[in-house]
């Protein structure tokens, strides 16, 4: 095991991971990493395509003896979720990630690591860079904006590909084969703000909810973790029944597909209500410590008396509708699969709440492996928006990835695993958006599988990647490519 980062990056996978970690690549900010991939391919005289969506496709001919094996598409995404701990000085638009090793895990420093999906990029570059690794003809495609809109994959021109086999490297569990994923859609409910003149003689207070673990809104939705936006709705609703107060802003969450960890609200009230406010906050700290003692033991609500120069607050109607939205917008698990034990079938996550001068925007990430249930969540959300006089829209709609019982590439992975480890590999489905569904929708007859090493707490600043698992998954991946030569491909 490598004890230092310098030793670790001597391995080609971690060498390339360290290179891309130095390039800012939040969703929507992929130009630099996309250009880097193009230069990488050009320097090695490999065929490369960069499309208008900044997706990059790199092609490499088969090694000797593998010319007759079907072409394989290797796929991942170049963007990452940008989350950092409160108070951390890090500019995701310009600053490199600061990698560090703790035990046998790789972390960034107080930010997301980007192993989701930097691992796929590192694997692909290490494979393309190698001369001694046997493999069939490769078509490596690294997409953009997977973490936000799936826009890169949705923009892909399928005519660029000859392959009918897709190996996606965006799974997060070693020793498992991912064979099915959920479809998803982004739902936005927007409440116009009617402003009123703030009363005189009031004090301003900032209520902050924090200490929550958060996590990936698909992978972690079954962990029972607190959603700071929903908690804020409960607190403000309870406060409304106790004291008169006024709201001037509510903001929470930073990524629609991450369970929000922090939400704040700025409120005004008269000094004689201060004591009651403190008592209510103390009560909610006790309630949440009890409710979330297992999932989020560090949850806390803080209260700060702040200076302000605002002269307006939400009207009573706006305030009522904002709190109702926080309370009633669907959130969390909506249904569980009856076919696969423990698999979430449909869910939704109120990921972002933003206040501007004109409106309050509520953004949710909804998922389902059954399209009709995804449609139900959309319809339910629209009815609520209509009832509250909110604007409603959806985007980033992408298809589910259905299970293929006749998958040939799954059989190859299963056979290689049994030969390598002496036992059967676990077959899983996941409640998360995987680009396989989009590619299968575009390329007729595509056969897909997804793999990846163990990673933890993705989409949070505590994201970390198992070093031994990354190396193990790499050798397993290479063994599959090598042994594809001995598989009977429809013969």
Share of the chain above pLDDT 90, in %: 89
| Cβ atoms of 227 and 350 closer than 8 Å | yes
Compute the distance between CA of residue 413 and CA of residue 419 in angstroms, rounded to an integer: 10
Question: Per CATH, the architecture of 185-398 is what?
Answer: 2-Layer Sandwich (3.30)
Which range, of 7-16, 123-132, 402-411, 465-474, averages the lowest pLDDT? 402-411
Q: Of 429, 430, 448, 453, nearest to 438 (Cα)?
A: 448
By annotation, the residues acting in catalysis are 79, 146
Q: Give yes or no for residue 77 having a pLDDT over 70.
A: yes
Q: What is the model's pLDDT at position 427?
A: 93
* Amino acid 1: pLDDT: 60
Asked whether residue 140 carries a pLDDT value surpassing 80, the answer given is yes
User: Is residue 347 a contact partner of residue 215, using CB atoms and an 8 Å limit?
Assistant: no
Statement: residue 79 has pLDDT above 60 = yes
pLDDT digit string, tens, across residues 305-315: 998 888 899 99
Selecting from 3.40.50.2000, 3.40.630.10, 3.40.50.300, 3.60.15.10, what CATH number does the domain 5-171+434-486 have? 3.40.630.10
Question: How many degrees, rounded to 5, is the angle at CA 163 between CA 416 and CA 401?
Answer: 75
239 and 306 Cβ atoms separated by less than 8 Å: no
Within 10 A of 347 (CB to CB), how many other CB atoms are there? 27
Which of 295, 213, 293, 291 has the alpha carbon at shortest distance from 259?
Answer: 213
Q: What is the pLDDT of residue 308?
A: 81
pTM > 0.75: yes
User: Token pair of 142, please?
Assistant: 């690294």
- Calpha distance 213→225 (Å, rounded): 7
Angle subtended by helix axes 115-129 and 467-483, to nearest 10:
50
Higher-confidence residue of 341 and 125: namely 125
R_g over Cα of the chain: 24
Mean pLDDT of 401-411: 92
Structural domain spans, the chain: 5-171+434-486, 185-398
Q: Identify the pLDDT of residue 151.
A: 93
Q: Would you call 442 exposed, middle or buried from its count of C-beta atoms within 10 A (0-12, 13-18, 19+)?
A: middle
Per-residue pLDDT, 432: 86
* Average per-residue pLDDT for the chain: 95
Residue 491 clears pLDDT 60, i.e. is over it: no
- Output the CA–CA distances (angstroms, integers) from residue 10 to 1, 13, 48, 253, 395, in the order listed: 12, 9, 26, 37, 42
pLDDT tops 70 at residue 490: no
Reduced to 3 states (helix: H, G, I; strand: E, B; else coil), residue 32 is helix
**What CA–CA distance (Å, rounded) separates 409 from 359?**
49
Is the backbone of residue 208 left (phi > 0), alpha (psi -120 to 50) or beta? beta
Give dist(CA 179, CA 403) in Å, integer: 6
Residues 436/170, Cβ–Cβ less than 8 Å: no
Q: Tell me the Ramachandran region of residue 214: left when phi exceeds 0, alpha when psi lies from -120 to 50, beta otherwise.
A: left
Which residues are within 8 A (CB) of 439 and not within 5 positions of it... i.e. 6 or more apart?
73, 75, 153, 156, 166, 446, 448
Q: Is pLDDT of 402 > 80?
A: yes
Residue 339 CB coordination number (10 Å)? 9
Closest CA to 430 of 400, 406, 404: 400
């Amino acid at each position: 095991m490598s004890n230092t980062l310098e030793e670790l990056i001597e391995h080609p996978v971690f060498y390339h991971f360290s290179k891309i970690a130095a390039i800012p690549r939040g969703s929507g900010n992929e130009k630099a990493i996309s250009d880097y991939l193009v230069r990488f391919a050009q320097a090695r005289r490999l065929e490369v395509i960069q499309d208008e969506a900044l997706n990059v496709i790199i092609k490499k001919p088969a090694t000797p003896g593998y010319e007759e094996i079907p072409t394989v598409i290797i796929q991942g995404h170049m963007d990452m979720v940008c989350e950092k701990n409160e108070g951390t000085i890090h500019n995701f638009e310009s600053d490199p990630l600061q990698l560090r090793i703790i035990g046998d895990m790789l972390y960034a420093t107080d930010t997301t690591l980007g192993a989701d999906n930097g691992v796929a990029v590192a694997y692909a570059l290490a494979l393309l860079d190698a001369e001694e690794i046997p493999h069939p003809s490769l078509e490596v495609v690294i997409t953009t904006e997977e973490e936000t809109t799936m826009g890169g994959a949705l923009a892909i021109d399928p005519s660029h590909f000859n392959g009918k086999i897709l190996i996606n490297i965006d799974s997060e569990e070693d020793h498992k084969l991912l064979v099915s994923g959920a479809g998803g859609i982004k739902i936005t409910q927007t409440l116009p703000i009617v402003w009123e003149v703030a009363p005189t003689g009031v004090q301003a207070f900032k209520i902050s909810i924090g200490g929550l673990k958060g996590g990936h809104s698909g992978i972690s939705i079954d962990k029972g973790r607190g959603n700071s936006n929903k908690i804020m709705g409960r607190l403000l609703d309870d406060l409304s029944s106790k004291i008169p107060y006024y709201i001037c802003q509510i903001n929470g969450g930073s990524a629609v597909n991450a369970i929000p960890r922090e939400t704040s609200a700025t409120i005004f009230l008269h000094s004689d209500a201060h004591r009651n406010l403190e008592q209510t906050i103390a009560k909610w700290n006790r309630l949440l410590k009890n409710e979330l003692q297992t999932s989020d033991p560090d949850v806390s609500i803080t209260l700060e008396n702040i200076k302000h120069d605002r002269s307006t607050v939400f009207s009573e109607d706006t305030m009522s509708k904002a709190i109702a939205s926080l309370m009633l917008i669907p959130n969390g698990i909506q249904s569980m699969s009856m076919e696969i034990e423990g698999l979430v079938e449909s869910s939704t996550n109120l990921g972002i709440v933003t206040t501007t001068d004109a409106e309050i925007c509520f953004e949710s990430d909804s998922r389902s492996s059954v399209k009709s249930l995804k449609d139900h969540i959309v319809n339910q959300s629209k009815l609520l928006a209509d009832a509250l006089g909110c604007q409603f829209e959806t985007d980033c709609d992408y298809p589910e990835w259905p299970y293929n019982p006749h998958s040939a590439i799954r059989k190859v992975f299963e056979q290689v695993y049994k030969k390598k480890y002496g036992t059967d590999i676990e077959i899983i489905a996941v409640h998360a958006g995987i680009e396989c569904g989009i590619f299968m929708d575009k390329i007729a007859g595509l056969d897909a599988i997804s793999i990846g090493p163990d990673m933890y707490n993705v989409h949070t600043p505590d994201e970390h990647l198992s070093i031994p698992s990354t190396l193990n998954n790499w050798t397993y991946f290479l063994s599959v490519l090598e042994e594809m030569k001995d598989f009977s491909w429809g013969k």
